[in-house]
Structure 1
Amino acid sequence: MANLNKVMLIGNLTRDPELRYTPKGTAVADIALAINRVWNNEQNQRQEETTFVDITLWGRQAELAQQYLTKGRGAYVEGRLQMDTWDDKQTGQKRSKLKVVAESLQFLPDGGARTGNAPAGGMMGGTARPPQQRPQGASAAPPDDFTEDDDIPF
C-alpha cells in the first residue's frame, strides 16, 4: 500500500519565529500559523474557525524565517506531519503533539503595513535563498511587442 505524508498550509504567524541552533550548528526555527476557515451554515450565517499549527523549519529556511517573518505575516508552508512524544515532567504521563516539519516556505504579503526590509514573497525550498524582487513596474508578462512564432513543430 502506498503512503503519502504531505501538508500545504496558508496562514498568518501567531508569533515571531524562535531561532536556535543544534550542537552541530544547524539552525532550527519554530513558528506557528493561524489558519482560518470560513463557511455559511444551514441558516446562511457566516461561521469562522481558526486552527493553530506548530511548524519546524531547518537550515537556511529557519534563518530566513527569523530574518524576514514577524507575527501577523502571511506564509505558505509545504511539509510533512510528524508526531512528537515526550514524558511530562510534572505528571509523568506520556504526551504527544502533531506538528509540521516544513520542506518549503513562501513569504506572503501581510495585507497591511510592512515593516523592515521584508521581501514581498519568495519560495524557500530545500536550497533556500532570499526571494528575488522585480524592479519597480516590471511585469512577469511578455512585453507588448512580443510575437509568438507559429512554426513550432508540436
Structure 2
Amino acid sequence: MINNVVLVGRMTRDAELRYTPTNQAVATFTLAVNRNFKNQAGEREADFINIVIWRQQAENLANWAKKGTLLGVTGRIQTRNYDNPQGQRVYVTEVVADSFQILESRATREGGSAGFDQSYQASPASTFGATNAPQTPNFGRDESPFGQTNPMDISDDDLPF
C-alpha cells in the first residue's frame, strides 16, 4: 500500500508546540495549499490542511517557521476518531509529517532583501532563442566584475574548432 503526501503551501498560523506525558514534542499547524484552478469568480481557492509533526522536527518547525512561511511537507494521511465531551464521535483526517523544508529565505519571509537584485531578466545573447530564460542575478553591479578589462580577449585563431 502507498500512503505518501507531498504538499507546498503557507502556514496559516504559528505551530502549536506541546509535549506528551513521555516528553515527546508534537507540533500542529495548518497549511494553506492553493488549488491549480480558479473558481467561477476568477479567484484562486485554497485547501486548509491540518498537519501534525513529531519529535525534533516539531521543535525545529516551531523555532524556525512562523505564520506565512512557505513550506514543503512530506508525510502520510492519517484518520482517527474520538468521543468529544458531548458524547459525539468526531472523525479527524490529518497529515502526519515526516519532514518539512522552508522554501524561501529568511530575508524573503521578513520582507527585506539580501542585498542583491533578485530580478532575472534575459538578455538575447544568453537565451539561445528562449524568451524567458533566467540569467545570473546582477548582485548590485552595473559594471563587469573584472573591471574595465576583458579577460576573455580571444581571437578565432586561439579556438580549437
Q: State the TM bucket, normalised to the shorter chain.
A: 0.5 to 0.7
Contact 2:69 2:109 in 1 (8 A): no
Residue 153 of structure 2 corresponds to none
- For the aligned residue pairs, the C-alpha RMSD in angstroms reads 2.3
| Larger RCO, structure (CA 8 Å, separation 6 or more) | 1
Aligned with residue 20 of structure 2, among 16, 19, 22: 22
Structure 1 residues 56 and 40, CA gap change in structure 2 (3 angstroms): closer
Give the length in aligned residue pairs: 111
Is 1:11 the counterpart of 2:9? The answer is: yes
**Matched residue of 2:81: which SS?**
strand
Q: CA deviation at 1:38?
A: 3.9
Contact 1:75 1:106 in 2 (8 A): yes
Is 1:104 the counterpart of 2:99? The answer is: yes
Distance, in Å, in 2 between the alignment partners of 1:33 and 1:114 is 19
TM-score in terms of structure 1 length: 0.65
Distance, in Å, in 1 between the alignment partners of 2:21 and 2:68 is 31
What do residues 79-111 of structure 1 show as CA deviations (whole Å, max 9, x unaligned)? 001112011212x22110100000111012178
Structure 1 residues 102 and 113, CA gap change in structure 2 (3 angstroms): closer
Aligned with residue 70 of structure 2, among 56, 74, 82: 74
Distance, in Å, in 1 between the alignment partners of 2:63 and 2:94 is 22
**Matched residue of 1:64: which SS?**
helix
Gaps of 5+ in 2: 112-138, 140-161
Partner letter of residue 102 of structure 1? A
Contact 1:38 1:47 in 2 (8 A): no
Partner letter of residue 13 of structure 1? M
TM-score in terms of structure 2 length: 0.62
Is 1:57 the counterpart of 2:53? The answer is: yes
Q: CA deviation at 1:46?
A: 3.2
Gaps of 5+ in 1: 116-136, 138-154
Q: Which of the pair is proportionally richer in strand?
A: 1
